[in-house]
Amino acid sequence: MKTLYRNLIVILIVALIFPLAESTFAGNKDRSGQAGATELLINPWARSSGWASANMSRVRGLEAIWGNVAGTAFTDKTQLIFSNTQWLKGTGTNIMSFGISQRVGDAGALTLAVMSMSFGEIDIRTVDNPDESQGTYSPNMMNIAIGYSKAFSNSIYAGVVLKIVSESIADVSAVGVAIDAGIQYVTGADEQISFGIALKNVGPKMNFSGDGLAVRTILSGQETSFTLEQRAMAFEMPAQLNIGAAYDFIFPKDYRLTAAGNFVSNSFSQDQFNFGLEFSLKEYVQLRGGYTYEKGMWEDITSNENININNGFSGGMSVQVPLSKEKGSFIGVDYTYRESHAFSGSHTFGIIFNF
């Protein structure tokens, strides 16, 4: 009876994911660049981004809330992560992230993650005085994700995420919501084989509003001024479908080499293929590298085919030490570099507590 119940749950989740996926990806690639809230596509965490986010089928713990929420079900007790990313170094863009994942009951996990993106101080220029600064303003973007996942058996894990998206400057803002859903399937004598599927960033359209979209003007034939309010066009979320697999090569003395691959179907940009390797030395030291391929990435940067500067090589490492004799209790430090076609790449530093 329990097995039947678990299978029915998984079938229900898959039945919900695939119709959403079919409707989400009915558009064409000529709409590249027309979505908003594209910060949802940025992986703010160091470990998974270090091998090109290729590990969506076996990502574990808190970081799974970005890639495949089903992996948060592997949280042992409590996990905390603080992360800082210098995004496209040289632009002044900074990403601060924080998250906590907590074991709930025998098989569930509840996760909260916050990502805040800032761009520094930008000069205010006006139509009447375009050459002189009239002060500065600071755009802000924030995503809050709340996820729940559960292990339905020793092989099947699934979960959902609710995201709240906020984008604003001083007098214009937009708020939206989106959901993710994901499944991981683990098998093999040593649970060394994993498959995963995740549908991400599905939600209603967003649009901007606020005093910044209103201007004072004088209509023809009138002596008094009027306030003219412009309506901003609504924009869609950057929905995405991930399908991945991974295999662990387990060696004596607790050495491990994991190979992973992931296919990314983007609704508003080129589809991508992620490939990655991670080598672990008794879980104390982890080295990882990856590569992201998409059509047109080797064309000239001014080409219409080359529409994304965030692809190519990525690499990183983690060092962690036990906090106590209890298995799974540790503190770790992470670093990741991601290549970009312009600027000086992206650098992510993180610290993780698992206890």
Question: What confidence tens digit (pLDDT) does each residue in 79-102 have?
Answer: 999 999 999 998 899 999 999 999
pLDDT of residue 299: 81
CATH of the domain at 36: 2.40.160
CA–CA gap between residue 237 and residue 282 (Å, rounded): 41
- Model confidence at 173: pLDDT above 90: yes
CA distance 179 to 158: 14
Owner of token pair 């995201």: 163
pLDDT digits (tens, 9 = 90+) for 266-294: 988 889 999 999 999 988 999 999 999 99
At residue 300, the pLDDT reads 79
Whether the pLDDT of residue 189 is over 70: the answer is yes
Domain count, the chain: 1
Residue 211 has what pLDDT? 86
In this prediction, residue 3 carries a pLDDT of 53
User: Residue 22: its pLDDT value, please?
Assistant: 46
Q: Which domain holds residue 130?
A: 2-354
Q: Residues 192-220: pLDDT tens digits?
A: 999 999 999 999 999 999 988 888 777 77
Q: Tell me the two tokens of residue 337.
A: 């570099």
C-alpha to C-alpha distance for 177 and 246, rounded to whole angstroms = 31
169 has a pLDDT exceeding 70: yes
Per-residue pLDDT tens over the stretch 317-329: 999 999 887 777 9
In the prediction, which pLDDT does 321 show?
93
Residue 4 has pLDDT above 50, yes or no: no
Q: What is the per-residue pLDDT for 147?
A: 97
Between residues 201 and 226, which one has the greater pLDDT?
Answer: 201
pLDDT digits (tens, 9 = 90+) for 104-139: 998 999 999 999 999 988 888 887 788 888 888 889
**Average pLDDT for residues 1-8, to the nearest whole number?**
50
pLDDT at 304 over 90: no
User: In this structure, what token pair is assigned to residue 256?
Assistant: 């491990």
Percent of the residues in the chain that have a pLDDT greater than 70, as a whole number: 91
pLDDT digits (tens, 9 = 90+) for 16-46: 454 544 444 443 456 667 888 999 999 999 9
- Give the side-chain half-sphere CA count within 13 A for 58: 21
Q: Is the pLDDT of residue 190 over 60?
A: yes
Cα gap 189→63, rounded to integer Å: 26
State residue 71's pLDDT score: 97
Q: CA-to-CA distance for 144 and 165, rounded, in angstroms?
A: 7
Q: Is the pLDDT of residue 309 over 90?
A: no
The percentage of the chain sitting over the pLDDT mark of 90, rounded to a whole number, equals 63
Measured CA to CA, the distance from residue 253 to residue 160 in angstroms comes to 36
pLDDT tens-digit series, residues 49-73: 999 999 999 999 999 999 999 999 9
- For residue 6, what pLDDT band results from cuts at 50, 70 and 90? low
Q: Which residue(s) pair with 288 in the sheet? A: 278, 316
Distance CA 315, CA 48 (A): 10
Q: What is the SS3 string spanning the chain?
A: CHHHHHHHHHHHHHHHHHHHHHHHCCCCHHHCCCCCCHHHHCCCCHHHHCCCCCCCCCCCCCCHHHHCHHHHHHCCCEEEEEEEEEECCCCCEEEEEEEEEEEECCCEEEEEEEEEEECCCEECCCCCCCCCCCCEECCEEEEEEEEEEEECCCCEEEEEEEEEEEEECCCCEEEEEEEEEEEEEEECCCCCEEEEEEEEEECCCECCECHHHEEEEECCCCCCEEEEECCCCCECCCCEEEEEEEEEEEEHHHEEEEEEEEEEEECCCCCEEEEEEEEEECCCEEEEEEEEEECCCCCCCCCCCCCCCCCEEEEEEEEEEECCCCCCCEEEEEEEEECCCCCCCEEEEEEEEEC
**CA terminus-to-terminus distance, the chain:** 34
Contact by Cβ (8 Å): 125, 136:
no
